């Protein structure tokens, strides 16, 4: 946790979920209605097909709803894409950008991610910009170089603590059941914090830095208690409300410890 930074637990459903799964979102919306919502934010990013109906389910809940990608343009001949404006039109508040699966499957470069983040700001969405090294990059000790390059290339100059969240997701930890050591996460997050403070000053100090990659109820408390880890971006374990809420609830203990 970082002092004065409000944690965020964000779920990324990826290409999972049909109307049948809406019960999980309803259960999450109800599950985050307790007093912890004064201190911790919760967000779920279902596939775009469920976005509008998911936001309708969350109107009376602090659970926010976001999307998993947007185009860099507002509209135009881009078959299959959706724009940041369309997400905002569905009452989405956030958009995940530059996830490693998009960098790999769709050839998204830092430059494209930066343009998408700028489009998100235009539509008054918060961009969750993902960075992280591959296994080969980790093995060649270039993790911090990769993070520096991706942060410089993917985060627009207009980034603030309100409109930008950074998610550190080591590619090899995503969906693998393996996480870095607490010490490695500490090093990566402290490095990102110093890079962001150098570039954005006080805004960088307050920007939320999420950890993502195999976060589960069983390891969430340990991961969320690392310095400069201000929440999680959760894939597989966000598909079930019970798991998502168990991860969110670790802050009951962690916040009590800081009081
Ligand atoms: P995972 O995915 O929690 O299933 O590892 C995380 C992510 O890709 O955001």
* Residue 184 domain flag: yes
Q: What is the pTM of this model?
A: 0.98
Residue 259: which residues within 8 A CB-CB, separation 6 or more? none
pLDDT at 258 over 80: no
CB of 31 closer than 6 angstroms to any ligand 1 atom: no
Cα atoms found within 13 Å of the Cα of residue 16, Cβ hemisphere only: 15
Domain count, the chain: 1
Exposure class string for 36-53: b at 16+ Cβ within 10 A, else e: beeebbbbbbbbbebbee
Q: Of 71, 99, 189, 206, which one is the catalytic site residue?
A: 99
* Residue 247 domain flag: no
pLDDT at 69 over 70: yes
pLDDT at site 3:
80
Query: Tens digit of pLDDT for each residue in 203-236?
Result: 999 999 999 999 999 999 999 999 999 999 999 9
CB 56 within 8 A of CB 102: no
Cα–Cα distances in angstroms (integers) from residue 2 to residues 8, 161, 248, in the given order: 12, 13, 17
* Residue 79 domain flag: yes
CB of 236 closer than 6 angstroms to any ligand 1 atom: yes
Cα-to-centroid distance, 133 and ligand 1 (Å): 14
> Residue 48 is part of which domain span?
8-24+34-242
* Residue 101 domain flag: yes
* Residue 249 domain flag: no
* Residue 121 domain flag: yes
CB 83 within 8 A of CB 75: yes
**Is 99 known to be catalytic?**
yes
pLDDT at site 256:
81
Measure the N-to-C terminal CA separation of the chain; round to a whole number of Å.
Answer: 13
CATH number for the domain harbouring residue 172: 3.20.20.70
């Amino acid at each position: 946790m970082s002092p004065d930074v409000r944690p965020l637990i964000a779920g990324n459903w990826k290409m999972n979920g049909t109307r049948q799964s809406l019960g999980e979102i309803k259960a999450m919306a109800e599950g985050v209605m307790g007093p912890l919502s004064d201190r911790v934010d919760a967000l779920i990013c279902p596939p775009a097909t469920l976005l509008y109906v998911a936001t309708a389910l969350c109107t009376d809940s602090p659970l926010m709803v976001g999307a998993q990608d947007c185009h860099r343009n507002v509209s135009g001949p881009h078959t299959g894409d959706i724009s940041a404006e369309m997400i905002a039109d569905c009452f989405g508040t956030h958009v995940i950008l530059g996830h490693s699966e998009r960098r790999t499957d769709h050839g998204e470069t830092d430059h494209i991610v930066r343009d998408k983040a700028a489009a998100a700001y235009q539509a008054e969405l918060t961009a969750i910009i993902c960075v992280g090294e591959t296994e080969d990059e980790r093995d060649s000790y270039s993790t911090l170089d990769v993070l520096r390059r991706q942060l410089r290339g993917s985060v627009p100059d207009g980034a603030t603590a309100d409109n930008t969240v950074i998610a550190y997701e080591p590619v090899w930890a995503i969906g693998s059941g393996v996480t870095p050591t607490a010490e490695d996460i500490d090093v990566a997050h402290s490095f990102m914090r110093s890079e962001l403070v150098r570039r954005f000053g006080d805004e960088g100090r307050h920007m939320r830095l999420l950890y993502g990659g195999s976060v589960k109820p069983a390891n969430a408390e340990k991961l969320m208690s690392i310095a400069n880890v201000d929440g999680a971006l959760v894939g597989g374990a966000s598909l079930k409300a019970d798991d998502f809420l168990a991860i969110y609830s670790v802050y009951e203990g962690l916040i009590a410890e800081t009081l």
